[in-house]
Structure 1
């Protein structure tokens, strides 16, 4: 029996997770669509591989035989989540993924009652999206229980992987999102901008983006107003605002395919860059009386954190039997989970 299957294992993040899983003594099955790439990865790691597409439910079911946990690393997740999630519910395997896509969180949340009935843990967002931000949101909620507004932001150096870049292409068409009075609403691309203070005291400009916490933070904390920001240069923010008028063009099929091909050419940060480029995460809450509380996290590179956070959750599920249902990081692992990951520390 092979308890863990990594789908999209031959992708940038999947390869990192597979290598670290082996170091921890786990023996995942490596899965995906590309036979040659999977063979090249599986052979030196001495792991089993399964090659299958996601168009045929019966084929997915056959390949989930004997699997207890599926970790989906194949983005964009709006294409891969639903067939794998449905197969996990049919086969009573826990479903995890490393998405940051709001619509995917919503899709997974809507299966909560089915997952409870089947005893299946449904847990999207097991990596940098959204473990540190979700845990930080829960910490802030505990420090200001009547908070009505939550702001989260992050600075992630090092550059994106091909999968992240492809997902960002689709995100340009959808525009921005925020949670307003408990509802996820569409807002203009680069809706708001502001600054955050780095640990060294310098200021960093940031712009609102449709980060996964727009969906998950409300589930974790009940705070009805949520905005999420990414640090970037002011010139880039201005360019994003100009794209508002081109959404119709960016949404054209041929344009999307061209941009995705360009995005796929991204290599992602190499090992030296991953080790050198860390991240900072900011969180602020405010209540109706105007009282504010702020906290920050210093973390390793987002891809390194994704590896350790995801595998820590896998190991937790292998060692424990939580009730089935939809979970966010803080709801399953506790708000302090992120603080136990390598290289993470809290700044108050």
Structure 2
């Protein structure tokens, strides 16, 4: 089942799934959009919201696996995950939110008891970076520090922009000595040597701060996003106002602005843009290893990664418990996706 099929990313996944002959049940809360898309693609559908646990459970009862694509996941993941646990249905999603990864991890024991796999983050967040991190760890097994950075070209979809606004409530995050630590906006900055050019980047609360620790065991993790120096200065100026940014009024105002001004990227726009990822591991002796990934636009990577994961578990039994992409799919899974280039610095 594909839940959230009427969203921007959900539609991309639904259409590609049909092209691959996967024929998922399309689902979501919108009474008009879901049936319309299902008729277009010739697929079954279910219309349901996430307010009533018994109704969710009944609605997913015919599915062996749910690919959950309806954000913001901070609001939607828990009810869907709990229904999957109750119904012994495997759960995948495309979140990139640290709080969601951490909340799902708390259900590891019950997931194993129920024989259910919980695998969040099977899109651009966090499949490429998770695979890169595990590759680097295997090149430097005693690494105790991991740095990841990305330059994702092209604008966000409305759904991604809304998720970013949700993230303003919590500020930044890094992992130090195995523990998550709250830090200010733009906590650290550095000039990252991406494969195409050096770019100023700043720490961001990306999902790998949570997941890469469980994939690699590396206790110190920072994730950087490429951005303009002017934006970094603005982020620093916002530090005293983090509490205000999380208030209901400010959140509502920002989300309304997104609804009015953010347009989803077209296929032509996506085709023109690439994503660049850089990673570095270091050990206590000062040794280091670096690597690069060059990929398609983030939304196209999400489609390929999510459906590639589904296809993997159509051919292989899912492993119960809370999983991370590279740990269960392998560090070379990213190489199975189209238009991916991986380079290691010598």
Query: Is 1:283 aligned with 2:279?
Result: yes
1:222 equivalent among 199, 211, 217 = 217
Give the TM-score taking structure 2 as reference length: 0.97
Give the TM-score taking structure 1 as reference length: 0.97
2:199 equivalent among 183, 204, 209 = 204
| Corresponding residue for residue 52 of structure 2 | 56
Deviation of 1:274 after TM superposition, in Å, equals 0.7
**Structure 2: any 5+ residue segments left out of the alignment?**
none
Classify the secondary structure of the residue corresponding to 1:347. strand
Deviation of 1:198 after TM superposition, in Å, equals 2.8
Paired residues, what number?
343
2:318 equivalent among 306, 322, 326 = 322
Deviation of 1:111 after TM superposition, in Å, equals 1.0
| Corresponding residue for residue 239 of structure 2 | 244
Segments ≥4 residues shifted beyond 4 Å: none
Deviation of 1:204 after TM superposition, in Å, equals 0.7
| Distance (whole Å) between structure 2 residues aligned to residue 81 and residue 18 of structure 1 | 19
Q: Is the 8 A contact 2:194 2:292 kept in 1?
A: no
| Corresponding residue for residue 137 of structure 1 | 133
1:114 equivalent among 107, 110, 120 = 110
2:5 equivalent among 9, 14, 22 = 9
| Corresponding residue for residue 44 of structure 1 | 40
| Distance (whole Å) between structure 2 residues aligned to residue 77 and residue 264 of structure 1 | 18
| Distance (whole Å) between structure 1 residues aligned to residue 198 and residue 174 of structure 2 | 24
| Distance (whole Å) between structure 2 residues aligned to residue 322 and residue 76 of structure 1 | 26
| Distance (whole Å) between structure 2 residues aligned to residue 283 and residue 132 of structure 1 | 11
Query: Is 1:339 aligned with 2:339?
Result: no
Classify the secondary structure of the residue corresponding to 2:144. strand
Deviation of 1:271 after TM superposition, in Å, equals 0.2
Deviation of 1:263 after TM superposition, in Å, equals 2.0
| Corresponding residue for residue 87 of structure 1 | 83
CA displacement, residues 105-124 of structure 1 (integer Å, 9 cap, x when unaligned): 01111111111111111000
**Structure 1: any 5+ residue segments left out of the alignment?**
none
Q: Is the 8 A contact 1:160 1:268 kept in 2?
A: yes
Query: Is 1:19 aligned with 2:19?
Result: no
1:263 equivalent among 233, 258, 278 = 258
| Distance (whole Å) between structure 2 residues aligned to residue 248 and residue 219 of structure 1 | 30
Classify the secondary structure of the residue corresponding to 1:35. coil
